């Protein structure tokens, strides 16, 4: 062993890195460390050198490493890095990891936007797809609640505003507080849950702040979506206590549909599609009640001609527009990106209670408000009485009129709180941890601008011009006070989701085999979940689960005698639900390190997807409809459609396996290459029953279509009685089989002009076959547009980073392969191919600290600027989006977005 000071210079020269040791810690240089071996990579070399020294290292820049003392919590074997992921396996890294540096280079504003850069996420929605701005993740595209979402290693429950999909809203978490994002795909730890069919997303929040920092962010797209962010991170640390906090405030202005030509003009015939403009226009349209010509006109309908707002029209004014219609692109009024305001706070602390015993706590609070401009309210085929003061026809007529003077908004307010207390330590060589976690998520959705039908009918019948609604106007249709009187009271609903979790676990070595030490993890968990909805019939639904889990890692072969390392990991978990019964699942992984550069890994396991509380307990509701009956000559029939929860649903079950290869030659350029083939089979898949399938293949759905007894005439004609009711509640009779391959490669080239890092990642989907119900045809969704989310054959991400001194330049390209378009009404392909997508982002970042070493004001300042979607590519036209005009699962209309960020450490 030799002093660290003897190795700093050779390490810096060999790896082309800088090493940072603050003056107050110069004594570290006198620490004796291990010998310098032939690992040839910074990560492995530093891990070997500092093992057992009480020191640790961390990246503090693209080419700078800081060596410092470990905190007491880090000296405990219980802590894994700084994330408290005690439950996660220690024998392998996550499949994908986005570090703080990686996230900063994406130029994103939200956690949900980071998911768009994962090739394993086949599709995603924009912030404006839902009126509440919620976004969730479903890795592999297997379903919203098949991906476990964790914060610092602990599962979060369903968000209140996503109660219907049982997903977690990623926009709840402030991006400024995220230290890294970990994605586990093929060997998810069962200590956190066995319901990760698609994988697991772990969002690690900052738990330690070395230097206080202040960040300013500004960004904007053309026509709106202007963003501003202010965040602060700070903390204190001593031998007895550590505290860190991040405060974040973020706002975004709205981006209206009128700012983009795609929604400003919804006549998609220019792309070979349909005209989605609406006759509910301003000025509007008028038509006769019975289909005959309007009084005084040669046609049964006419467009309201342009004129001065408030001017009374005569029948003669309509002669020039008889037989014509005004058409309006309603999406021009809709938000592409809603107005957003977020306020968040994250705090964490550790207390050293005794040697090797630490108490810790975490707190996350987030408040968000979304104002979404919805489609404007309108009058559609509404009768205007002859008494209306502005009706020039002397007879009642039908009117289509857009009330542009009334704002139709959906205001979503969300509060999310998460608190955790815990203790960890070492007892008789066993690492132990106990945590108590509570989350409380509340959401309120208020809709304003809806029209009261009684008030509308009264205003249309008024003979007094001051009190009558003028639907023949080229303008708002009346005074502001008149329009305000038509508006109903706001409709408000509140949602709440609560989770309480207690978890205890121990890990330790049990005995020694010739190949190494056998380690085991044992634990238990109790979890209580509850959702409640005020304003609808669901009320409150709750579930309790008790779980036990274990993990056994066994070394099979040792590499000490030139024999390749081989180890096996076996995991098991039992969950006992208060409403579903008992579920048991297991997972097996085999790791084979053939040498220091080549490794193979194989996994096999079972998992499940429990039906959500909403799917089980949503009250049955009846919707009247008039539908064609295929067994009665498509005669229109009045039918009661029932939908709601199905308390008989059982968990979906899944089996998954994967085999992967990792190659990491021990070269100075640190090349890495990996390839993993995976397959997942889901049985008893929970899905809604499609109405079209029920009508056309009634025999496949016994008991769901209820008919009247056939009449005498029906018996003569050989047909059944008329349909009385249809049940479309969710069933669990389907299946899903998906498989594909993930590939990744990276390289670090140290050249005379700086460090160049090319990286590439891609996901190839082999098949994604869905069977919604036994007897229905099997559908392969790979390469075919879908309203549930399109799954392209290929998704790729390539990046190139150049770093020299304090300057870093990055370019990224995202790629989706082309796919077949689909008509969503007919559920048939159109013969059109939706073009492949390629988006390019660029960023430049410069750190002002090299030439200002003695000027504290200018030290540790970073300026970052960049553009996402540099070439302003609009999404290709696709019929699958209907009136969207594009596939909303594969594109958005924000377009080119530029940003500037200033960061300062103190």
Written as one string, the DSSP assignment of 748-777 is -EEETTEEEEEEEEEEEEEEEEEESSTTSP
Q: What's the number of CA atoms in the CB half-sphere (13 Å) around residue 121?
A: 25
SS3 label, residue 485: helix
- C-alpha 360/C-alpha 86 separation (Å) is 13
Query: Which residues of 594-671 form beta strands (DSSP E)?
Result: 598-609, 621-629, 635-643, 652-663
Residue 111 and residue 127 in contact, taking contact as beta carbons nearer than 8 Å: no
- Give pLDDT tens digits for 24-53: 455 565 565 665 544 445 665 776 677 666
SS3 label, residue 700: helix
Going by C-beta distance under 8 Å and a sequence separation of 6 or more, which residues neighbour residue 282? 326, 328, 401, 402, 403, 404, 473, 474, 475
Q: Token pair for residue 713?
A: 């005439």
pLDDT of residue 6: 63
pTM of the model: 0.85
- In this prediction, residues 80-92 reach a mean pLDDT of 39
- Give pLDDT tens digits for 439-484: 999 999 999 999 999 999 999 999 999 999 999 999 999 999 999 9
Task: Please return the burial class of 15, using the count of CB atoms within 10 Å of its CB with bins 0-12, 13-18 and 19+.
Answer: buried
Task: Please return the burial class of 752, using the count of CB atoms within 10 Å of its CB with bins 0-12, 13-18 and 19+.
Answer: exposed
* Helix orientation angle between 42-50 and 5-15, rounded to the nearest 10 degrees: 170
**pLDDT for residue 82 is more than 60:** no
SS3 label, residue 615: helix
- C-alpha 308/C-alpha 317 separation (Å) is 12
pLDDT of residue 239: 76
Helix locations, 150-280, DSSP H: 261-264
Of 229 and 209, the one with more pLDDT: 229
**pLDDT for residue 62 is more than 60:** no
Confidence tier at 193 by pLDDT (50, 70, 90): confident
Lowest mean pLDDT among 480-484, 536-540, 710-714: 536-540
pLDDT of residue 118: 94
Greatest CA separation found in the chain? 105
**Among 414, 310, 370, which residue's Cα sits nearest to residue 127?**
370
The values of phi and psi at residue 520, to 5°, are -140, 145
- C-alpha 840/C-alpha 797 separation (Å) is 10
Confidence tier at 13 by pLDDT (50, 70, 90): low
**pLDDT for residue 772 is more than 60:** yes
Element (H, E) at 364: strand 357-373
**pLDDT for residue 84 is more than 50:** no
- C-alpha 356/C-alpha 510 separation (Å) is 20
């Amino acid at each position: 062993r030799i002093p660290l000071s003897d190795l700093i210079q050779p390490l810096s020269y060999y790896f082309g890195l800088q090493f940072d040791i603050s003056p107050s810690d110069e004594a570290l240089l006198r620490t004796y460390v291990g010998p310098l071996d032939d690992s040839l990579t910074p990560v492995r070399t530093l891990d070997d050198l500092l093992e057992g020294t009480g020191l640790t290292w961390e990246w503090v820049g693209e080419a700078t490493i800081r060596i410092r003392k470990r905190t007491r919590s880090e000296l405990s074997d219980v802590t894994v890095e700084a994330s408290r992921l005690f439950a996660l396996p220690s024998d392998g890294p996550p499949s994908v990891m986005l570090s703080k540096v990686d996230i900063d280079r994406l130029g994103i504003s939200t956690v949900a936007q980071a998911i768009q850069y994962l090739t394993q996420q086949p599709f995603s929605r924009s912030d404006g797809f839902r009126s509440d701005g919620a976004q969730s993740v479903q890795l592999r595209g297997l379903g919203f609640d098949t991906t476990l979402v964790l914060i610092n290693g602990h599962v979060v429950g369903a968000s209140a505003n996503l109660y219907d999909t049982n997903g977690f809203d990623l926009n709840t978490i402030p991006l400024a507080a995220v230290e890294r994002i970990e994605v586990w795909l093929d060997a998810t730890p069962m200590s956190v849950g066995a319901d990760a069919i698609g994988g697991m997303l772990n969002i690690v929040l900052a738990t330690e702040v070395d230097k206080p920092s202040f960040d300013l962010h500004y960004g904007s797209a053309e026509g709106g979506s202007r963003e501003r962010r202010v965040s602060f991170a700070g903390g204190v640390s001593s031998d007895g206590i550590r505290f860190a906090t991040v405060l974040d405030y973020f706002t975004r202005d709205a981006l209206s549909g009128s700012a983009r030509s795609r929604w400003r003009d919804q006549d998609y015939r220019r792309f070979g599609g349909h005209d989605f403009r609406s006759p509910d226009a301003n000025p509007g349209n008028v038509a006769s009640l019975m289909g005959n010509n309007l009084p005084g006109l040669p046609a049964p309908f006419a467009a309201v001609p342009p004129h001065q707002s408030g001017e009374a029209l005569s029948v003669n004014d309509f002669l020039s527009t008889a037989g014509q219609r005004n058409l309006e692109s309603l999406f021009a009024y809709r938000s592409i990106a809603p107005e957003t305001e977020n306020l968040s706070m994250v705090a964490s602390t550790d207390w050293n209670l005794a040697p090797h015993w630490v108490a810790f706590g975490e707190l996350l609070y987030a408040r968000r408000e979304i104002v979404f401009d919805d489609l404007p309210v309108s009058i559609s085929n509404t009768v205007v009485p002859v008494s209306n003061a502005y009706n020039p026809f002397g007879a009642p007529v039908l009117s289509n009129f857009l009330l542009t003077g009334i704002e139709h908004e959906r205001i979503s307010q969300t509060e999310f709180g998460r608190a955790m207390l815990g203790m960890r330590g070492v007892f008789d060589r066993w690492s132990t941890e106990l945590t108590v976690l509570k989350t409380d998520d509340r959401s309120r959705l208020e809709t304003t601008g809806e029209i009261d039908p009684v008030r509308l009918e009264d205003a249309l019948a008024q003979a007094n011009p001051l009190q009558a609604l003028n639907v023949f106007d080229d303008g708002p249709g009346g005074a502001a006070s008149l329009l305000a009187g038509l508006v109903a009271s706001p409709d408000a609903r509140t949602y709440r989701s609560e989770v309480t979790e207690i978890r205890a676990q121990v890990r330790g070595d049990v005995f020694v085999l010739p190949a190494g030490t056998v380690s085991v993890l044992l634990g238990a968990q109790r979890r209580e979940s509850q959702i409640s909805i005020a304003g609808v019939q669901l009320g409150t639904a709750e579930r309790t689960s008790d779980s036990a889990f274990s993990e056994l890692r066994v070394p099979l072969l040792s590499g000490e005698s030139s024999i390749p390392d081989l180890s096996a990991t076996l995991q098991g978990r039992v969950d006992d639900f208060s409403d579903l019964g008992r579920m048991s699942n297991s997972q097996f992984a085999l790791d084979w390190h053939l040498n220091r550069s080549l490794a193979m890994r194989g996994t096999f396991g079972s998992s499940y997807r429990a039906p959500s509380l909403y799917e089980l307990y949503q009250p049955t509701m009846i919707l009247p409809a008039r539908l064609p009956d295929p067994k009665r000559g498509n005669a229109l029939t009045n039918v009661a459609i029932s939908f709601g929860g199905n308390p008989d649903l059982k968990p979906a079950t899944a089996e998954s396996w994967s085999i992967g290869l990792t190659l990491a030659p021990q070269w100075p350029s640190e090349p890495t290459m990996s390839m993993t083939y995976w397959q997942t089979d889901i049985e008893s898949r929970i899905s809604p029953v499609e109405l079209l399938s029920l009508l056309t293949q009634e025999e496949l759905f016994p008991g769901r279509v209820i008919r009247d007894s056939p009449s005498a005439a029906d018996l003569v004609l050989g047909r059944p009685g008329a349909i009385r009711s249809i049940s479309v509640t969710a069933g669990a009779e389907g299946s899903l089989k998906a498989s594909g391959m993930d590939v990744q490669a990276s390289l670090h080239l140290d050249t005379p002009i700086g460090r160049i890092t090319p990286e590439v990642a891609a996901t190839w989907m082999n098949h994604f076959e869905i069977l919604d119900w036994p007897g229905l045809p099997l559908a392969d969704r790979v390469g075919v547009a879908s309203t549930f989310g399109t799954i392209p054959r290929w998704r790729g991400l390539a990046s190139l980073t150049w770093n020299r001194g304090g300057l870093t330049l990055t370019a990224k390209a995202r790629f989706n392969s082309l796919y077949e378009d689909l008509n969503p009404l007919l559920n048939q392909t159109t013969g059109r191919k939706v073009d492949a997508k390629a988006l390019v982002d660029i960023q430049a970042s410069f750190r002002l600290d090299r030439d200002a070493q003695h000027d504290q004001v200018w030290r540790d300042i970073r300026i970052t600027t960049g553009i996402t979607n540099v070439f302003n590519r609009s999404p290709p036209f696709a019929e699958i989006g209907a009136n969207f005009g594009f596939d909303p699962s594969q594109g958005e209309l924000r377009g080119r977005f530029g940003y500037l960020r200033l960061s300062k450490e103190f």
